[in-house]
Amino acid sequence: MRSGVFIISLAALLGGGCATTGPGGGTFLDRYSGSRQLAQAETMLKEGDSPGAAHALEAVCNAPAVAGVTDEALFRLALLTLKSKPGSAQAQQLLKRLKKEYPGSQWTALAAPVADLANSLEEQRRQNRVLRGSNQALSREITELNQRLEQLKTLDQELEKKAR
């Protein structure tokens, strides 16, 4: 009798991945695995192993979605990506994914100003490219005008010599 209850309880716990932790929460095993990888990433960050932490966070983000785990991993991975490549498109995609998949998450609220800064950085870079192009065009125009001025000076000197 006892062994039967134990087997039924064990079967209910392991249930073949049917039990979930809520909407978009993944299975119990997904939550446990994701939480463990997230904790490992935090430890790696504390130890200064950013590439290792990024790899662990990517694994969490690519695994089945688990609310409370995947959203934090997305946020932390976006920050790591921004640290190594400010304004990177990958970081912006991670922040967009966080906002889309976890709109009510505390990590989404924290990510909003970060996303705004990343977007403004990208806008500044775009403006710099435009201004750099304008600057080059103006430099060419100045060079051309200086050449024409020199030609006019030469022509004026030739006309003075002919007039004498």
DSSP string, 33-98: HHHHHHHHHHHHHHTT-HHHHHHHHHHHHHSSP-TTTHHHHHHHHHHHHHHHSTT-HHHHHHHHHH
The yes-or-no verdict on residue 19 having pLDDT over 50 is no
Higher-pLDDT residue of 114, 14: 114
Q: Which amino acid is at 150?
A: E
Helix, coil or strand: residue 150: helix
Confidence class for position 15, pLDDT limits 50, 70, 90:
very low
Q: Give pLDDT, residue 88.
A: 81
Confidence class for position 110, pLDDT limits 50, 70, 90:
very high
Confidence class for position 6, pLDDT limits 50, 70, 90:
very low
Q: Give pLDDT, residue 97.
A: 93
User: pTM, whole model, 2 decimals?
Assistant: 0.65
The yes-or-no verdict on residue 23 having pLDDT over 70 is no
Q: From the CB of residue 107, how many other CB atoms can be counted at a distance below 10 Å? A: 19
The yes-or-no verdict on residue 8 having pLDDT over 80 is no
